[in-house]
């Protein structure tokens, strides 16, 4: 288990400002955030490559804050793999084992085991520069896994690969925690990549850890505007007032309809309703049931197989995502009258602030 | 109109290229004008002259020792400058680079003066005489050449991405192991190139040797000093022979330095 | 066990830092030992000595002319080396860099020999005398210093991304306009730094002046030559005064060069 | 109009191998391809920054192959904008006009006009390094538009921007051809970006122009496996044989069902059927109409709001894209029996070769 407590670190333009998180054993934890958020700095602080300005790092319960990297048993795979160019694939993988003074036959057995599992046993005597991107990636993984580290830190492991390899390597990464009994911490900036791979996601922005949760949680229950926008929730509707009723939480959207939400917000201040466009259900015709409201189609933008259908509800603009096919079936066009509905479970009430209220305060302190 | 614009570009290119080629021809022409003044026979005969052989052997000895010390010192010093933040970095940088810009003469005078200060006098009486003696020549050569060695070793380590060492650290290397197993082998060619350049440059040191060790025939006359003595006493054939030896060594060493991918950045 | 590993890293760092600091202290200590041997009064008095003032003025004149010519030649030459592919690039590179490694003495001898070849003789009889005369001092200074100028100007242009000029071209600039309106202003500080470094380095040229122009008092004695003459004839106060002048100029110029972000890469 | 004919150019690792294309006036033409395909080299050849090894470039009918860049009236905006750091925003924009020796008042009028249209008139006296990414982008556009060029070449104009700015700037770029009467050539590697912006797309791979067409054409009718994979058609089904019938082209999929395609392939060799996953229509239950075939759900992978439903039809695996919601409505789960159908218009028959057959020949020549 890796636990970090209130880590602060300034490094050039990047900084971490009080990051705390506990990553469980055999977890696939993705640190997600835009460029410049401080993701790589966080990885490097966990690996021990930089002393932290403040805070502590625990590995399996031991405070390793003052340990040099070679004492932490945490392997680091940088974005471009950084294979040792003067060593063969075999020697790259055996590197850490030679440092541990393993006998030659044990080293060979371990390298064989790893290269068989990662399907690179035909490359053992090649020089790293002659390998393809995917092969380099697998060699770097084998090298990192060789000493049986507590955790593997991967910095944007897929971004240097081309589209086709990326998906295959992603599938492979996903299986690592189980196959090698290791914890994975994976840094990336691509939301869909995180969704596909993570067991939990930590979203980081400007050195602050904004939200931590399962992909499902982050995806459906963003805790602030930033997370909602970053995960491409397109409908952020200001809530004028809300009250608990027998059927759920009844919200009056400013300049729009009343919606029913399943859960009340956990916070007392102003609230927005976040609704993913794929959860807006549209039926042609203005007649709907009690839970629906009528709307007018004001724009349809087809992007590939999907379409962004913009609905006008009073002054409000609501985005719905539909497949092209279902638009055709419903014969929707600009000006169509429709009945739109949103299931209460798909209406999430989040604080109406850019960052979560508790972080917003420290943010303002910082910049003010 | 097209022709005018086209020819403007051609004219500009011709002008800037002309500056470079004028320079190259000037340098090559002047350096080559040494050769007509000595025949092959004079050259080979002069090489057998005892004064010439003494100065070559003595030079190789002094320069060998100086280069060895320079390499041993400049590899760690270059590594520190390349990898660590140091206090007073800009002052250290300026001091280390000073001998490149400083006239060699001044290095010689400074050494001379140092051995008249109390610590210098103590060294001369208790350890070894340096001023105007053979061991002093090594010092006189070392002093003005060490900067270039440090600069080329630093450039060698600069050419190795420090992330190789960082990854090595996470794989279990101490700093020393990361240096020995990763930084050193990856910088190897550049470090060899730096040593070669330092050696060639050391062979040519004149001003500081003349000042600190004097120009005494068959005693402190490394090749440049011997050239000076022979040229000023009219032994032109001996002087030109040694000149050609140095010139060839300089050309070959510089070419080797470049071939090995060496670099030396003053910045 | 933790303590052992921890201290291994500390030991390694201490060892490599020790090498650097030993070097820095050695260089600084030796250079500073010049100062105790001259008082402020001797220094200011010596500065009024006519030989000293002559050599300072003559140096400034010769170095001024040499630096001006160097800058005018090295800016276009450095631009070509930075921006264009040239034929025989590695040969040209080696020739241009040669004077950095080559002993200055050899530059002086080569010049001397050149003016005994037919083209050299023609120049001496029909245009101007150079060997052993005052104008020759400019040549003797120019020859060993031009490489560093070209290298620092090239490094200056290297620091400007060529895409600035490419964008300027698509906006209507000819190559000359892209050079003048974009490359030149963006490289300005580095180019000034290069000129400063060239000037300071030129002030220290000794070997080639001694060889090509001789060491004649009140005639060809630029500062280093005057230092040599004074030190060897026992006028230690005059010699040390000029030494200190050169040392201060070298330190200030080098610091200015670094402050301006200058760079000179031999590679 | 920009026309390039059979351009060959080697530049370091990148090369163009016989690229020909005609770009119409006021078109928004996107050159799309993976990293290293030679996209930037192509732009730079059009701008005249490199002499071509072979071939010709025509601008408005004039052969400009031997013209220097300053004679071509084509502006180039590199990926990172390359604003002149020693000039203010105003002087950056006025740069080309000063070269044309416009009088000061005309220059001022033109700069004002451009900066008003691009909403950067408040930045005129700022230094470029103080601007945000989006502001730098707009300044670079104003500078490029100032001399009224025939065309604007944009190299990955959106990739340096963050997610939110990217969409806004994209919308703005889209309007440039109309507002400024200029042709746009935009290089990018992101398929969705190309779909959103282009009037036509040229897909480039390893220096070869593989397919040119409207987004619709490229999206629905890839001309080879590479284009199909690059545009994320997930179903590439080998066709055993096909014949024209009264209802369309009847295809026997190898190891799978018979499908009806609307159009016969234009080529005689082996053929694959390319079917986008969003066009696979699934109905629960094994009873379908004549045009459907029965299948078993073998996997459902939920990624965000959408899910990849994998169907087994005999030995064949077929990917269908559905919204989560419709999966819920149809109560699909692994093992469900379903009836799947694909409209004939959504079944496209492409040559079964990695690159189009006519290019494949030159490719093999090259490497063989």
Residue C14 placed within a domain: no
Note the pLDDT tens digit of each residue in D211-221: 999 998 998 89
What is d(CA B17, CA B11) in angstroms, rounded to the nearest whole number? Answer: 10
List CB contacts of B45: < 8 A, sequence separation 6 or more.
B237
For the sheet with A258-261, list strands across it. Answer: A258-261, A249-253, A235-244, A271-275, A348-351
Q: What letters, b where the CB count within 10 A reaches 16 and e where it falls short, cover C78-99?
A: bbbbbbeeeeeeeebbbbbbbb
**Average of pLDDT values for A213-235?**
90
pLDDT at B218: 85
Confidence of residue A331 (pLDDT cuts 50, 70, 90): confident
Q: Which pLDDT tens digit goes with each residue over D57-68?
A: 999 999 999 999
Mean local confidence (pLDDT), C65-81: 96
CB-CB: which of A48, A78, A147 is closest to B171? A147
pLDDT score for D167: 80
Contacts of D67 in chain B (CB under 8 A): 2
- What is the maximum alpha-carbon separation in chain C? 82
Contact residues on chain A for D323, CB-CB shorter than 8 A: 278, 321, 323
ipTM of the complex: 0.85
CA nearest neighbour of C34 among B111, B124, B96: B111
Contact D86 C186 (CB under 8 A): yes
Q: Which residues of A touch C12 (CB under 8 A)?
A: none
D69 touches chain B (CB under 8 A): no
Measured distance CA(C84)–CA(C87) in Å, rounded: 10
Instruction: Tell whether the model's pLDDT for residue A113 goes beyond 70.
Output: yes
Q: Mean pLDDT over residues A240-268, rounded? A: 88
Contact B34, C105 (CB under 8 A): no
Asked if residue B122 is part of any domain, the answer here is: yes
Rounded CA-CA distance D50/D42 in Å is 10
Which chain C positions have a beta carbon within 8 Å of A68's beta carbon? 5-6, 9
Distance CA B223, CA B56 (A): 6
Q: Is residue D342 a contact partner of residue D279, using CB atoms and an 8 Å limit?
A: yes
Domain residues for C196?
49-265
- Verify whether the Cβ–Cβ distance B182 to A96 is below 8 Å: no
Tell me which of A48, A59, A62, A71 to substitute to probe the interface with C (most C C-beta atoms closer than 10 Å): A71
Region of poorest pLDDT, from B164-168, D8-12, D81-85:
D8-12
DSSP D5: E
Closest-CA distance, B17 to chain D, in angstroms, reads 19
Rounded Cα distance, D123 and D116, in Å: 11
Q: Mean per-residue pLDDT for A35-48? A: 89
**Mode of pairing for the β-strands spanning A200-205 and A183-188:** unpaired
Question: Which residues of B are less than 8 Å from C113 in CB distance?
Answer: 33-34, 36-37, 240
Convert the pLDDT of each residue in B215-242 to its tens digit. 888 888 999 999 999 998 889 999 999 9
**What's the mean pLDDT when you consider all of chain A?**
88
Mean pLDDT of all residues in A115-120: 90
Residue B23 lies in a domain: no
Three-state DSSP class for residue D12: coil
Instruction: Give me the percent of chain A exceeding a pLDDT of 70.
Output: 95
Among A66, B50, B223, smallest CA distance to C103 is for B223
Who's near A323: CB < 8 A, 6+ residues apart?
Answer: A305, A306, A307, D278, D321, D323
pLDDT of residue D364: 56
Q: Which pLDDT tens digit goes with each residue over D7-51?
A: 999 987 788 999 999 999 999 999 999 887 889 899 999 999 989
CA A76, CA A140: separation in Å to the nearest integer? 9
Inter-chain touch C170–D84, beta carbons under 8 Å: no
Is B25 inside any structural domain?
no
User: C33 lies in a domain?
Assistant: no
How large is the average pLDDT for residues C9-23?
92
- Chain C CB contacts of B254 under 8 Å are 94, 97-98, 101
Q: Within 10 Å of residue C154's Cβ, how many Cβ atoms? A: 27
The shortest CB-CB distance from D325 to any of A163, A279, A324 is to: A279
8 A C-beta contact, residue A286 and residue A339 = yes
Q: Cβ distance D296 to D333 under 8 Å?
A: no
Q: Could you write out the three-class secondary structure of chain A?
A: CEEEEEEEEEECCEEEEEEEEEECCCCEEEEECCCCCCHHHHHHHHHCCCCCCEEEEEECCEECCCCCHHHCCEEEECCCCCCCCCCCHHHHHHHHHHHCCCCHHHHHHHHHHHHHHCCCHHHCCCCHHHCCHHHHHHHHHHHHHCCCCCEEEEECCCCCCCHHHHHHHHHHHHHHHHHHCCEEEEEECCHHHHHHHCCEEEEEECCEEEEEECHHHHHHCCCCHHHHHHCCCCEEEEEEEEEECCCCEEEEECCCCEEEECCCCCCCCCEEEEECHHHCEEEECCCCCCCCEEEEEEEEEEECCEEEEEEEECCEEEEEEEEHHHHHHHCCCCCCEEEEECCHHHCEEEECCCCCHHHHHHHHHHHC
> In sequence order, what are the residues at sequence separation of 6 or more whose Cβ sits closer than 8 angstroms to the Cβ of residue A43?
A31, A76, A153, A155, A185, A187
What confidence score (pLDDT) does residue C1 get?
A: 43
CA gyration radius for chain B? 23
What length is written for chain D? Answer: 368
For B206, which of C37, C103, C146 is closest by C-beta distance? C103
Residue B49: φ, ψ to 5°: -60, 130
Write out residues 186-225 of C within 8 Å (CB-CB) of D. 186
Q: Where are the alpha helices (DSSP H) in B171-235?
A: 175-178, 184-203, 207-213, 223-232
Question: Count of CB atoms within 10 A of residue B50's CB?
Answer: 8
Q: Which of A62-66, A174-178, B128-132, D211-215 has the lowest mean pLDDT?
A: B128-132
Give the count of domains, chain C.
Answer: 1
pLDDT of residue D304: 67
For residue B167, what is the nearest residue in chain A, using CA coordinates?
Answer: A76
Nearest Cβ partner for C166 among D49, D95, D143: D49
Average pLDDT, chain C: 91
Shortest CB distance from A305 goes to which of D278, D304, D325? Answer: D278
H or E stretch at D239? strand D235-244
* Contact A34/B at CB under 8 A: no
Residues of chain A positioned with their CB less than 8 A from the CB of D324: 278
- Write down the mean pLDDT value for chain D: 88
Residue B133 lies in a domain: yes
Distance from CA of A270 to the nearest CA of D (A): 23
Q: Cα–Cα distance between A144 and A149 in angstroms, integer?
A: 8
Which of D268, D287, D280, D288 minimizes the C-alpha distance to D309? Answer: D280
- Mutation pick from C7, C23, C35, C157 vs chain B, by most beta carbons of B within 10 Å, is C23
Confirm if C95 and B27 have CB atoms less than 8 A apart: yes
| B245 burial level (CB within 10 Å; 0-12, 13-18, 19+) | buried
- Mean pLDDT for the stretch of residues D336-343: 89
pLDDT at B7: 76
CATH number, residue B214: 1.10.3720.10
Q: Which residue has the higher pLDDT, B267 or A38?
A: A38
Cβ neighbours of residue B120 under 8 Å, at least 6 residues apart?
Answer: B114, C33
CB contact, 8 Å: A285 with chain C? no
Name chain A's partners: 3 or more CB pairs within 8 A.
Answer: B, C, D
Q: Using a CB–CB cutoff of 8 Å, tell me whether B5 touches chain D.
A: yes
**D209 confidence band (pLDDT: 50, 70, 90):** very high
Residue C140 forms part of a structural domain: yes
The mean pLDDT value for A189-211 works out to 91
Of the candidates A244, A152, A230, the one whose C-alpha atom is nearest the C-alpha of residue A194 is A230
- C-alpha D344, offset from chain centre: 25
B2 in reach of chain D (CB within 8 A): yes
The string of pLDDT tens digits covering residues A123-172 is: 999 999 999 888 999 999 999 999 999 999 999 998 877 777 788 888 88
Query: How near does any CA of chain D get to the CA of C68, in Å?
Result: 26
Cα nearest neighbour of A70 on chain C: C5
Task: Please give the average per-residue pLDDT across B51-76, as a whole number.
Answer: 95
Q: What was the pLDDT predicted at A324?
A: 74
Polymer length of chain B: 267
CB C172, CB D70: distance < 8 Å: yes
Give the pLDDT mean for B28-38: 92
Residue C265 clears pLDDT 90, i.e. is over it: no
Where do the DSSP E strands lie in chain C?
Answer: 264-266
Whether C1 has its CB under 8 Å from any CB of chain A: the answer is no
Number of residues in chain A: 368
pLDDT for C159 equals 93
- CB under 8 Å to C199, separation ≥6 — which residues? C63, C64, C67, C253
Dump pLDDT digits (tens) for D104-133: 999 999 999 999 988 899 999 999 999 988
Residues ≥6 apart with Cβ < 8 Å to C10 = none
Output the pLDDT for position A74. 94
- Report whether C99 contacts C143 (CB < 8 A): yes
Range with lowest mean pLDDT among A102-106, A206-210, D165-169? D165-169
> Which residues of A are less than 8 Å from C9 in CB distance?
68
Whether D34 and D189 have beta carbons less than 8 Å apart is answered as: yes
- Whether D368 has a pLDDT exceeding 70, the answer reads no
**Hey, are the CB atoms on D323 and A323 less than 8 Å from each other?**
yes
Q: Name which residue leads in pLDDT, D366 or C13.
A: C13
Chain D adjacent subunits, 3+ CB pairs under 8 A = A, B, C
Among C170, C174, C185, the residue with its CB nearest the CB of D74 is C170
* Spatial contact of B226 and B90, defined as CB atoms under 8 Å apart: no
Per-residue pLDDT at A368 exceeds 60:
no
Alpha carbon distance C100, B258 (integer Å): 14
Average pLDDT, chain B: 91
Asked if residue B41 belongs to a domain, the reply is no
pLDDT of residue D287: 66
CA dist A141 and A137 (Å) reads 6
Nearest to D99 among C166, C171, C186 (CB): C171
pLDDT of residue A365: 53
């Amino acid at each position: 288990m890796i636990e970090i407590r209130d880590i602060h670190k300034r490094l050039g333009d990047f900084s971490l400002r009080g990051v705390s998180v506990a990553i469980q054993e055999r977890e696939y934890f993705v640190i997600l955030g835009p460029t410049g958020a401080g993701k790589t700095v966080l990885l490097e602080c966990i690996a021990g490559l930089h002393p932290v300005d403040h805070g502590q790092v625990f590995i399996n319960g031991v405070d390793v804050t003052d340990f040099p990297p070679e004492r932490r048993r945490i392997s680091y795979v940088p974005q471009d793999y950084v294979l040792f160019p003067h060593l063969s694939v075999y020697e790259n993988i055996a590197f850490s084992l030679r440092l541990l003074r393993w006998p030659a036959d044990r080293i060979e057995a371990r390298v064989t085991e790893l290269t068989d599992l990662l399907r690179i046993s035909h490359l053992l005597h090649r020089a790293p520069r002659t390998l393809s991107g995917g092969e380099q990636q697998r060699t770097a993984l084998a090298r990192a896994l060789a000493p049986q580290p507590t955790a593997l830190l991967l910095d944007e492991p897929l971004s240097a690969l081309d589209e086709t390899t990326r998906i295959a390597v992603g599938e492979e990464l996903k299986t690592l925690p189980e196959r090698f009994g290791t914890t994975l911490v994976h840094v990336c900036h691509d939301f869909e990549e995180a969704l596909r791979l993570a067991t939990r996601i930590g979203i980081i922005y400007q050195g602050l850890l904004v939200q931590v949760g399962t992909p499902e949680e982050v995806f459906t229950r963003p805790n602030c505007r930033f997370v909602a926008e970053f995960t491409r929730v397109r409908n952020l509707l200001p809530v004028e007032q809300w009250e608990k009723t027998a059927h759920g939480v009844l919200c009056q959207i400013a300049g729009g309809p009343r919606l029913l939400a399943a859960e009340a917000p956990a916070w007392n201040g102003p609230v927005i309703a976040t609704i993913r466009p794929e959860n807006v259900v549209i039926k042609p015709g203005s007649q709907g049931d009690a839970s629906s409201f009528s709307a007018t189609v004001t724009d349809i933008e087809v992007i590939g197989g999907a379409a962004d259908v913009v609905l006008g509800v009073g002054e409000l603009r609501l985005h719905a995502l539909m497949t092209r096919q279902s638009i055709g079936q419903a014969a929707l066009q600009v000006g169509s009258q429709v009945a739109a509905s949103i299931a209460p479970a798909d209406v999430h009430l989040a604080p109406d602030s850019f960052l979560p209220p508790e972080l917003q305060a420290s943010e303002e302190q910082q910049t003010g | 109109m097209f022709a005018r614009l086209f020819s403007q570009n051609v004219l500009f290119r011709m002008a800037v290229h002309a500056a470079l080629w004028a320079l190259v021809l000037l340098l090559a022409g002047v350096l080559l004008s040494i050769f007509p003044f000595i025949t092959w026979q004079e050259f080979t005969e002069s090489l057998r002259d005892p004064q010439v052989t003494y100065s070559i052997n003595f030079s190789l000895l002094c320069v060998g020792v100086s280069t060895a010390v320079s390499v041993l010192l400049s590899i760690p010093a270059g590594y520190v400058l390349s990898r660590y933040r140091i206090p007073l970095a800009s002052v250290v940088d300026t001091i280390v680079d000073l001998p490149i810009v400083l006239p060699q003469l001044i290095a010689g005078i400074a050494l001379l003066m140092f051995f008249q200060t109390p610590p210098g006098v103590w060294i001369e009486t208790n350890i070894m005489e340096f001023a105007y003696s053979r061991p002093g020549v090594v010092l006189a050569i070392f002093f003005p050449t060490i900067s270039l060695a440090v600069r080329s070793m630093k450039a060698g380590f600069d050419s190795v991405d420090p992330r190789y060492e960082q990854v090595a650290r996470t794989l279990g290397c101490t700093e020393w192991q990361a240096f020995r197993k990763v930084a050193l082998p990856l910088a190897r060619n550049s470090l060899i190139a730096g040593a070669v350049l330092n050696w060639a440059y050391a062979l040519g040191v004149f001003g500081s040797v003349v000042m600190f060790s004097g120009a005494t025939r068959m005693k402190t006359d490394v090749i440049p000093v011997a050239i000076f003595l022979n040229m000023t006493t009219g032994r032109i054939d001996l002087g030109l022979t040694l000149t050609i030896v140095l010139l060839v060594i300089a050309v070959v060493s510089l070419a080797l330095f470049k071939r090995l991918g060496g670099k030396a950045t003053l910045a």
